[in-house]
């Protein structure tokens, strides 16, 4: 997984998103993970460089308005808090910036096998192949 030290993350968030590709970018402080910038769309098919003004950052918080992605990645990470920030290109989500609570989150976000399991679970859920938590408890003898 690619990484950048927070103190060195001086380019704009937009530049980092343009260079992201398909692999997450880990932001660290003295090699300790503090945030991850992860693509949630195929960035290679978008014309981010040709149309950088269409890239915006949105936080769930109602107090925050969408902003362009011109501030440095370091500035966005410092102001992130516990709330993820979603980068959108032409109003479509393309990447998410998330603070890291623990190293397992980083490991799993870049683990192909884990992502395959999550995708398979989503497909099973869409197909109606789900087991309720009550059923799991019953099968495990916990209820």
Domain limits, the chain: 2-109, 111-143
If pLDDT is split at 50, 70 and 90, which confidence band does 55 have? low
| pLDDT category of residue 3 using cuts at 50, 70 and 90 | very high
Q: Per the structure block, which two tokens stand in for 121?
A: 């679970």
- pTM for the structure as a whole: 0.62
Residue 116: in which H helix or E strand, if any?
Answer: helix 112-126
For residue 56, what are the β-bridge partners?
Answer: 68, 88
**pLDDT score recorded for residue 62:** 34
For residue 7, is pLDDT > 90? yes
């Amino acid at each position: 997984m690619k990484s950048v030290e927070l103190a060195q993350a001086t380019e704009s968030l937009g530049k980092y998103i343009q260079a992201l590709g398909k692999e997450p970018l880990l932001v660290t402080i003295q090699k300790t993970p503090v945030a991850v910038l992860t693509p949630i769309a195929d960035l290679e098919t978008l014309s981010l460089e040709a149309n950088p003004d269409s890239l915006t950052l949105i936080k769930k918080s109602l107090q925050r308005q969408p902003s362009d992605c011109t501030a440095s990645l370091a500035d966005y990470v410092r102001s992130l808090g516990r709330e993820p920030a979603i980068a959108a290109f032409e109003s479509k989500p393309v990447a998410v910036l998330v603070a890291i609570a623990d190293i397992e989150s980083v490991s799993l976000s870049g683990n192909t096998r884990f992502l395959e399991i999550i995708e398979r679970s989503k497909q099973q859920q869409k197909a109606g192949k789900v087991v309720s938590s009550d059923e799991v408890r019953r099968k495990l003898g916990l209820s």
